Amino acid sequence: MYRFAGSKALIERNEKGFVANCKCGWDSGVKDSREEAIVAFETHVSSDPRHKVMEETRGLNFFSIFLAVMGILYVISPYDIVPDYMIGVGWFEDIIILLLSIILIKGGIEGKSPGQIISSISP
């Protein structure tokens, strides 16, 4: 049994060579050496969305963070689509944009795109 990033594979030797079999049902096909089968398994785990390691290593999404910063700048600027002197409506618009900016920053740090973030908050 071989482990990589929380996933397990059984490395078996048959008459033709070595094969790595993952718990998710994937197999590496016949490889000439055990090391080649292990490398194929590690590549599979790193690139397959069924394994969580792909999400963990994604990194920052700068576009999400950029949109969040633009939203914060919009809130603090004196120019609004709905003026702040319209009590209630103007402030409500600023609060919604500020909340969306916070959600975008959180999602951007987790590596999610703006589309993924918005689809995760809408029912």
Give the percent of the chain with pLDDT over 90: 16
Kindly state the DSSP code that residue 42 receives in the 8-state scheme. Answer: H
Residue recorded with tokens 């795109």: 113
Indicate whether 49 pLDDT > 90: no
Indicate whether 56 pLDDT > 60: no
Indicate whether 68 pLDDT > 90: yes
Indicate whether 92 pLDDT > 70: yes
Indicate whether 3 pLDDT > 50: yes
Tokens of 106: 């959180």
Indicate whether 7 pLDDT > 80: no
pTM, two decimal places: 0.51
Which range of 22-26, 84-88, 101-105 scores highest in mean pLDDT? It is 101-105
- 91-116: average pLDDT: 89
At residue 58, the pLDDT reads 56
The residue ranges of every structural domain in the chain are 2-56, 62-121
Residue 83 CB contacts under 8 Å (≥ 6 apart), including other chains? 90
Indicate whether 118 pLDDT > 80: yes
At residue 102, the pLDDT reads 93
Indicate whether 57 pLDDT > 50: no
Residue 94 CB contacts under 8 Å (≥ 6 apart), including other chains? 75, 80, 84
